[in-house]
Structure formats: C-alpha cells, structure tokens
Amino acid sequence: MNDNIISTVFGHRSFTHSLLFLVLAFFLFQQTFWPKDLEFGILMGMFSHKALDMLTKQGIKLLWPLKIDISIPGGIRTGGAIEQGFFTVLVVYLCYVGYQIYL
C-alpha cells in the first residue's frame, strides 16, 4: 500500500505501529499456510521496527487508539547524523551476526 494513503487514514506511526496491529497480524498469520519461520521473521521485523521507532523523539502510538506518543527518553532526531550512524552500526552488526550463523 502507499504510505501516504495509510498515513492519511490512520495517521503517521499510529495504528500500524500499535500493539493492536501486531496482535492482529499474528492472528492473521495463523490463518495462512506460510512457513512458521517466515511468520516469525515478519512479526519480529514488525516488533523491532516499533522498538526502533520508539527511539525517535516523536515516538509511536503503541497503545493506539489512545493518542499517547510513547518514546524512549533522549530520543534521536529522525534523519540526523546520529540516526544514520546508529543505522550503519546496526546493519554492520546484523551482517556480522548473520555471517556467523550461516558460516
């Protein structure tokens, strides 16, 4: 789906970043015939995306429909040098871990 359509309907970092959405996705996946490893990977990706977005100053509406932004104190400004550095270190680390697992 187009991100602008989702943002218009639900608001930025709201429903799709909530625990409710994660639970609904879990139950939806239970109705599919996808491999469990794939379901687990997608759900972990969704969870980690929420956790990383909570590191931003804006935070997320984790308890949607409550209009409370939840973020970790001392949040990182989106698009800044700190975010880019954090992202780079995280990607390098994940590549290293992935290499060690599949070596």
Length of the chain: 103
Residue spans of the domains in the chain: they are 3-72, 74-103
pTM: 0.76
* Cβ–Cβ under 8 Å, residues 95 and 102: no
Which band of pLDDT confidence, cut at 50, 70 and 90, is reported for residue 1? Answer: low
What does the pLDDT look like over 52-77, one tens digit per residue?
999 998 999 999 999 999 999 888 88
CA distance 33 to 31: 7
What does the pLDDT look like over 15-55, one tens digit per residue?
999 999 999 999 999 998 889 999 999 999 999 999 999 99
- HSE-up of residue 59 (Cα within 13 Å, Cβ side): 13
Which band of pLDDT confidence, cut at 50, 70 and 90, is reported for residue 103? Answer: confident
Looking at the predicted structure, is the pLDDT value of residue 9 above 70? yes
* Alpha helices for 31-80 (secondary structure H): 36-53
Looking at the predicted structure, is the pLDDT value of residue 93 above 70? yes
